[in-house]
């Protein structure tokens, strides 16, 4: 989808100026406590909105509303009608694209050109895709014996808690919302405290599209309060979460209270492996995009670039040249390629890792500095001479920092690529088709890109194992996430 937008009149300004209340049972309401918090623009550090700070009482109200809607109009509605409501919602998103894109760019510090090109179209595509699934979720007739009719059916899981991260709030939010709603579930969403605005706006549009009250609720506020209350609530049937491994472990413990179903998309330390027979220009270009896109705040970012010995120096040089050429600046400037990181805390964490890399003996080729006096900008950073055991090679930095690691042969590349706690994604570059296939088979990764890097599509499964999470999103895997199979046995010998 390619549409030209005019942001001169800032259609999001009026929305941001409003008190941003919770959305519970079809109404915008203040937090029960009356508390609020400030949302900051990461490009300037300035306040852009005042948002309700939800608490346990608000979670209680939202879950009760979701349960009523699940037992009432949403679950009993014809599946085709649910799909039509989701399609009307998608149409409203497209009609309000300018406002939503601008909100996302300002709130998350995302370059507006990338939000227009990727985040917003992906969110709409996801909604349309699962709207089409709504009346196609079926079971099977299983011929067990002649005197019985035996078949399976799929029923919605129930009330879903969707806990969404700050790096792709609109896109990842829709990854969770669309399939859950298409399956007949109801949702209480907790957007990240740092990026709540797009969730609140699209929830309003969902009501306008005809979504019944209580089907989609939004409770904003801190994870340690709102998130924990959702995870521990006895009337929540499933938790879907994207975020850090540490929080994911806590969610699994909390979900054990009533054996909630859980799906987790967690961290990554993805290896982008470049053999010396690869197209080094194409590989270096994709490697730079793979780590510097969204300021490196991507779970599948190619933060480890593994390069075979003979090509190593050339790739380092090419990566450094690309890093130096990236335009850093105002996210609302369409020429900007690298915006700020999300917060001052995140900026400090990334710069601490730059210091760690230096102390460990890695060579800082370029970058690694705060840029400008306002906002949370960091220059694209390239480390060379990185040893596999170093912390900057093993730990998720979640910023525009790449570690370039040397390897000798195919076995060495696989050893290094598989040698972290993560398993979300990997890339491999070579002209040898056999090598590509061997690597794809042996790499511990939920997605493997060959001679490309970073593409996703809602029609393909997405997720990882170990510290990268549990379960898969997208495609038919998401239908499995939000439905329970039921076996039915009818006696015919009566």
Q: What is the pLDDT of residues 415-425, one digit of tens each?
A: 999 999 999 99
Residue 1 has pLDDT above 80, yes or no: no
End-to-end alpha carbon distance in the chain: 58
pLDDT for the residue numbered 5? 43
Residue from 185, 193, 299, 396 carrying the catalytic annotation: 299
Q: Per-residue pLDDT for 7 more than 70? A: no
pLDDT in tens, 392-409: 999 999 999 999 999 999
Beta-bridge partner residues of 483:
156
214: which 2 tokens? Answer: 């209580």
Residue-level pLDDT at 494: 81
Average pLDDT over residues 173-194: 98
On whether the pTM is more than 0.85, the answer is yes
pLDDT per residue as tens digits for the range 63-117: 999 999 999 989 889 999 999 999 999 999 999 999 999 999 999 999 999 999 9
DSSP for 39-79, written as a single string: EE-TTT--EEEEEE---HHHHHHHHHHHHHHIIIIIHHS-H
Q: Which of 102, 104, 265, 396 is catalytic?
A: 265
Q: Is the per-residue pLDDT at 2 higher than 70?
A: no
pLDDT(241) > 80: yes
Confidence of residue 9 (pLDDT cuts 50, 70, 90): low
pLDDT of residue 310: 98
The whole-chain average pLDDT of the chain stands at 96
Task: Specify the pLDDT at position 3.
Answer: 38
Is residue 73 within 8 A of residue 114, CB to CB? The reply is no
What CA–CA distance (Å, rounded) separates 239 from 157? 11
* Cα dihedral across residues 342, 266, 126, 19: positive or negative: negative
Percent pLDDT > 90 in the chain is 96
Query: Among this protein's residues, is 265 annotated catalytic?
Result: yes
Task: Specify whether the CB–CB gap between 237 and 393 falls below 8 A.
Answer: no
Helix count and strand count (H, E) for the chain: 18, 21
């Amino acid at each position: 989808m390619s549409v030209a937008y005019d942001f001169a009149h800032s259609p999001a300004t009026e929305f941001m100026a409003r008190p941003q209340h919770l959305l519970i049972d079809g109404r915008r309401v203040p937090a029960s406590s009356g508390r609020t918090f400030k949302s900051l623009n990461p490009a300037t550090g300035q306040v852009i909105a005042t948002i309700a700070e939800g608490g346990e009482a608000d979670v209680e109200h939202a879950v009760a509303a979701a349960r009523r809607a699940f037992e009432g109009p949403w679950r009993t509605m014809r599946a085709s009608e649910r799909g039509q409501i989701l399609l009307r919602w998608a149409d409203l998103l497209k009609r309000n694209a300018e406002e939503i894109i601008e909100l996302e760019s300002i709130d998350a510090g995302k370059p507006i050109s990338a939000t227009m090109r990727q985040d917003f179209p992906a969110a709409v595509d996801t909604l349309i895709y699962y709207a089409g699934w709504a009346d196609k979720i079926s079971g099977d007739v299983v011929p067990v014996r002649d005197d019985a009719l035996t078949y399976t059916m799929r029923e919605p899981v129930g009330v879903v808690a969707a806990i969404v991260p700050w790096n792709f709030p609109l896109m990842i939010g829709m990854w969770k919302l669309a399939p859950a709603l298409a399956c007949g579930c109801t949702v209480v969403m907790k957007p990240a405290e740092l990026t709540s605005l797009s969730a609140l706006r699209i929830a309003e549009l969902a009501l306008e599209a005809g979504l019944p009250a209580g089907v989609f609720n939004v409770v904003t506020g801190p994870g340690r309060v709102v998130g924990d209350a959702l995870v521990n609530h006895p009337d929540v049937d499933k938790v879907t979460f994207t975020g850090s491994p540490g929080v994911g472990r806590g969610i699994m413990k909390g979900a054990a209270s009533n054996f909630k179903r859980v799906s987790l998309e967690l961290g990554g330390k993805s290896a982008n492996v470049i053999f010396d027979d690869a197209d080094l220009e194409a590989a270096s270009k994709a490697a730079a995009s793979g780590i510097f896109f969204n300021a490196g705040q991507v779970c599948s970012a190619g933060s480890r670039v593994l390069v075979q010995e003979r090509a190593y120096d050339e790739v380092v040089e090419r990566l450094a040249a690309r890093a130096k050429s990236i335009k850093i600046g105002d996210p609302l400037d369409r020429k900007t390629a690298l915006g700020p990181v999300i917060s001052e805390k995140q900026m400090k964490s990334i710069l601490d890792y730059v210091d760690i890399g230096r102390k460990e003996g890695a060579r800082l080729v370029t970058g690694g500095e705060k840029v400008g006096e306002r906002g949370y900008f960091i220059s694209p950073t390239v480390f060379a001479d990185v040893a596999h055991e170093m912390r900057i090679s093993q730990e998720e930095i979640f910023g525009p920092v790449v570690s370039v690691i040397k390897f000798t042969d195919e076995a060495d590349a696989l050893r290094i690529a598989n040698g972290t706690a993560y398993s979300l994604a990997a890339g491999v570059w070579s002209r040898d088709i056999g090598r590509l296939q061997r690597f794809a088979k042996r790499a511990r990764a939920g997605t493997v890109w060959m001679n490309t890097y970073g593409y996703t599509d809602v029609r393909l499964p997405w997720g990882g194992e170990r510290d990268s999470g549990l379960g898969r999103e997208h495609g038919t895997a998401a239908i499995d996430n939000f439905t329970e199979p039921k076996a039915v046995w009818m006696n015919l010998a009566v």
